[in-house]
């Protein structure tokens, strides 16, 4: 999904650094910075980077630190990738990064574990717009990859918009699971989550209407 080039890509919560290393190999940024709080894993990552990506040929840094301590540099072209953490942490990190550099327009690529509606709300509040989004199903678990920028052309929707393909049964399954999740939450906080459910139902109705108006050629009828 990443649209290079960037001066710097930050691989946040990088764990063993597989993502950042693939970005180094592909040359999509001048520099990749690996960030995580686990000292032993970051020490192992440093050793591997020195061996596989020698500093004479690749530009990288390893930072054993909390993302909330990062002061975003005033660079023109930066991407922060935050993947594999929950929505509350994702939201904390987004707010912290934005607060550290309110005048710097950096991009974000997010892949939160659940709670994407709230993550998207925060992105919208911070002035982000959509570059691209995708629904990802891996080992029967669903994720939303959200690529956002303050310089993008498309509006960012709390339910997602561009990523949905209602002809795909996997996407319909994801919609059902998502709404089921919020219906469970609505049992404890109906005022908050009933509105979220309504937004997803409105999205479903719009997707179904668009499919009816523009049916796919030779597409068999879809059953719910």
CATH, residue 55: 3.40.50.150
What does pLDDT average to over the chain? Answer: 93
Query: How far, in Å, CA of 104 to CA of 149, rounded?
Result: 11
Cα 188 from Cα 197, distance rounded (Å): 14
* CB-CB contact of 179 with 200 (8 Å): yes
Count of CB atoms within 10 A of residue 68's CB?
A: 13
Q: Are residues 23 and 116 in the same domain?
A: yes
Collapse the DSSP code of 131 into the 3-class scheme (helix H, G, I; strand E, B; otherwise coil) and give the result.
Answer: strand
The pLDDT of residue 224: 39
Q: What is the dihedral of CA 49, 55, 59, 63, to 10 degrees?
A: 50
Same domain, 129 and 204: no
| Global pTM value | 0.92
Query: Containing domain of residue 173, as a range?
Result: 164-214
The domain boundary residue, chosen from 163, 191, 206: 163
106, 37 contact by CB (below 8 A): no
Q: Is the pLDDT of residue 84 over 60?
A: yes
Confidence grade of residue 221 (pLDDT, cut at 50, 70, 90): very low
Note whether residue 148 is domain-resident.
yes
Q: Give the angle 209-156-171 at the CA atoms, nearest 5°.
A: 45
Assess whether 92 and 11 both reside in one domain.
yes
Instruction: Average the pLDDT over 207-215 and give the result.
Output: 87
How many domains does one find in the chain? 2
Instruction: Give the whole-angstrom CA distance, residue 103 versus residue 136.
Output: 32
Q: Tell me what the mean pLDDT of segment 27-51 comes to.
A: 96
Per-residue confidence (pLDDT) for residue 216, from 0 to 100: 63
Predicted pLDDT of residue 214: 80
What is the pLDDT averaged over residues 190-215? Answer: 93
Rounded to whole angstroms, the Cα distance separating 11 from 21 reads 9
Residue 105 within a domain:
yes
pLDDT tens-place string over residues 135-173: 999 988 999 999 999 999 999 999 999 999 999 999 999
**Quick check: is 189 in a domain?**
yes
Residue 222 lies in a domain: no
> 101: which 2 tokens?
């550099």
Specify if 224 maps to a domain.
no
Per-residue model confidence (pLDDT) at position 26: 94
């Amino acid at each position: 999904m990443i649209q290079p080039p960037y001066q710097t890509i930050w691989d946040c919560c990088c764990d063993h650094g597989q993502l950042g290393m693939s970005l180094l190999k592909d040359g999509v940024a001048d520099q990749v910075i690996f960030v995580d709080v686990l000292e032993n894993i970051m020490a192992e990552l440093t050793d591997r980077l020195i061996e596989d990506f020698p500093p004479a040929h690749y530009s990288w840094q390893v930072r054993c630190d909390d993302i909330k301590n990062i002061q975003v540099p005033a660079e023109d072209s930066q991407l922060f990738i935050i993947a594999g953490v929950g929505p509350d942490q994702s939201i904390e990190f987004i707010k912290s990064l934005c607060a550290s550099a309110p005048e710097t327009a950096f991009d974000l690529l997010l892949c939160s574990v659940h709670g994407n509606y709230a993550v998207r709300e925060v992105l919208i509040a911070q002035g982000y717009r959509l570059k691209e989004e995708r629904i990802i199903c891996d080992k029967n678990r669903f994720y939303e990859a959200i690529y956002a920028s303050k310089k993008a052309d498309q509006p960012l929707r709390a339910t997602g918009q561009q990523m949905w393909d209602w002809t795909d049964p996997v996407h319909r399954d994801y919609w059902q699971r998502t709404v089921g999740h919020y219906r469970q939450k609505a049992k404890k906080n109906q005022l908050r989550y009933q509105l979220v459910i309504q937004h997803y139902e409105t999205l479903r109705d719009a997707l179904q209407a668009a499919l009816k108006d523009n049916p796919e050629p030779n597409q068999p009828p879809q059953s719910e």
